[in-house]
Amino acid sequence: ADDAASVDRAMRAGFNWEMGPFQLWDEAGVRRTVDRMKTAGERVSSCAENLLAAGAESWYRKSGRECFDPVSGAYRAVPRAEGVGRVADFRASGGVVRQNAGASLVDIGDGVACLELHSNKSAIGEDIVRLVAETLDPEGDSVRSFSAFVIGGDAEQFSVGANLMQLLLSIQEDEWDDVEFAVRAFQRMTAAIKFCPRPVVVAPFGFCLGGGAEMALHACRRQAHAELYMGLVETGVGLLPGGGGCKEMTLRAVDAAASVRGEGRSESVELMQALRRNFESIAMSKVSTSAAEARRLGFLAPGDGLSMNRERLLADAKQLARDLAAAGYAPPLPRNDVPAPGENILASLKLGVHMMRSGEYISDHDVKVANRVAYVLCGGNVTPGAPVSEQYLLDLEREAFLSLCGEKKTQERIAFTLKTGKPLRN
């Protein structure tokens, strides 16, 4: 290769390096590294000498958009291969439509806008919830201005989930109205993603956990990076998915069973198997190690896309969103006739939890949390097949979430995880 950027791109794409050698050199510091090499008696490349002689201090500048050319002794724009794009490029060209501390809406061209999360570790707080809900409001300016939306970004992780610190502070101050308001707001945000008149494609990558996974579950499609760590991990801190995650997993189980046996009973073997898989994914806080495994765990649907190259993920998601818009996308309607799995499957799931406790694989609090998850997934103690609405399932989810927030052991788990980054089994 004739330039540093091409070498770095080859090492990232061909050998799965997170950074190429010249990017690593910048991280270590070019001048500092050269000084150490000279002190050690090592030969220094003339390219590095030329860079320093030109008064430059790094191979890249302007967030990687320009790279130093040792032949000309000047920085040159890094050419972008077709299908490779970053939100930062559109930001730099004045594409920001609106933003706050947690997220931004960026015009990425061709009638598509990207909702980028840029809070610390992309944790979902009030700022993100508000911007996403306002952007996808059917009566809002953004929906009238754009034909499709992508939720993604340039960060290392898609999202580690909801902001637990905000939640814990509200609980400790006994501000239960604030907690309920926050949960309702989160549910309204995920509903806005699902029922937006324009196609919303989520492009998950890296860690896509908790609330981040719930955002992805509600999109009309997902364009996932092959290296994806996705999961509904709320039970690890003594909670359950409260933003519509349980509801969506129930709908997926019901639909999967109906596709196999459309006229089958609501407590059919197919529904039992599908719901048990989804129950285990939530109750055991399972996290995928790839997009393929995320599909097996029920987090990705058969029609979702997969991108092997992280640098092409944004462009792939944008193209998928454009294709959906061009095909005349119409949003789903809120469902009021979901056949509830009901009390029989609930009893079976609870039996499994009881056996796990008898074998001392889980604690008493784990039992309480798992039984709550089972109750919500099954639609409560209702007759199998009884028609229930999505809102009914959301109400069950919210009530169970708030109830678990009041548990002392749950509060201990949240505090321990915030302090250590590890789960507590109490």
CATH of residue 50's domain is 1.10.1040
Is there a single domain that holds both residue 51 and residue 166? no
Is there a single domain that holds both residue 91 and residue 72? no
Is there a single domain that holds both residue 57 and residue 131? no
Helix H or strand E segment including 27: helix 21-28
Is there a single domain that holds both residue 70 and residue 95? no
Residue with structure tokens 């006994």?
174
- Boundary of a domain, candidates 54, 77, 100: 77
Is there a single domain that holds both residue 104 and residue 73? no
Mean per-residue pLDDT, 7-32: 93
Is there a single domain that holds both residue 392 and residue 422? yes
Phi and psi torsions of 33, nearest 5°: -65, -45
User: Quick one: pLDDT at residue 266?
Assistant: 55
- Boundary of a domain, candidates 15, 44, 77: 77
User: Quick one: pLDDT at residue 14?
Assistant: 86
Question: Is the pLDDT at 421 greater than 70, yes or no?
Answer: yes
Is there a single domain that holds both residue 126 and residue 173? yes
202 in Cβ contact with 151 (< 8 Å): yes
Is there a single domain that holds both residue 108 and residue 152? yes
CA dihedral 58, 61, 64, 68 (to 10 degrees): -60
Mean per-residue pLDDT, 281-301: 97
Q: Name the nearest CA neighbour of 252 among 244, 243, 240, 242.
A: 244
354 in Cβ contact with 362 (< 8 Å): no
Q: What is the pTM of this model?
A: 0.90
Question: Is the pLDDT at 141 greater than 60, yes or no?
Answer: yes
Phi-psi region at 342: left, alpha or beta (left = phi > 0; alpha = psi -120 to 50): left
Phi and psi torsions of 146, nearest 5°: -125, 150
Pairing outcome for strands 338-339 and 387-388: antiparallel
Mean per-residue pLDDT, 352-377: 97
CATH number (domain holding residue 366): 3.90.226.10
User: Quick one: pLDDT at residue 132?
Assistant: 98
- Boundary of a domain, candidates 59, 77, 95: 77
Is there a single domain that holds both residue 132 and residue 29? no
Is there a single domain that holds both residue 263 and residue 406? yes
Per residue in 42-76, pLDDT tens? 999 999 999 999 999 999 998 788 999 988 889 99
User: Quick one: pLDDT at residue 265?
Assistant: 56
291 in Cβ contact with 306 (< 8 Å): yes
**DSSP letter at 158?**
S
Provide the pLDDT confidence category of residue 263 given band limits of 50, 70 and 90: low
Residue with structure tokens 């889980």?
362
161 in Cβ contact with 120 (< 8 Å): no
Question: Is the pLDDT at 264 greater than 60, yes or no?
Answer: no
Total structural domains within the chain = 2
Give the C-alpha separation, 182 to 179, whole Å.
Answer: 5
Lowest mean per-residue pLDDT among 61-70, 123-132, 269-278: 61-70
User: Quick one: pLDDT at residue 144?
Assistant: 96
User: Quick one: pLDDT at residue 62?
Assistant: 85
Residue with structure tokens 């609980």?
171
Q: Name the nearest CA neighbour of 19 among 5, 34, 31.
A: 5
Higher-pLDDT residue of 13 and 203 is 203
Provide the pLDDT confidence category of residue 262 given band limits of 50, 70 and 90: low
Containing domain of residue 288, as a range? 84-426
User: Quick one: pLDDT at residue 61?
Assistant: 92
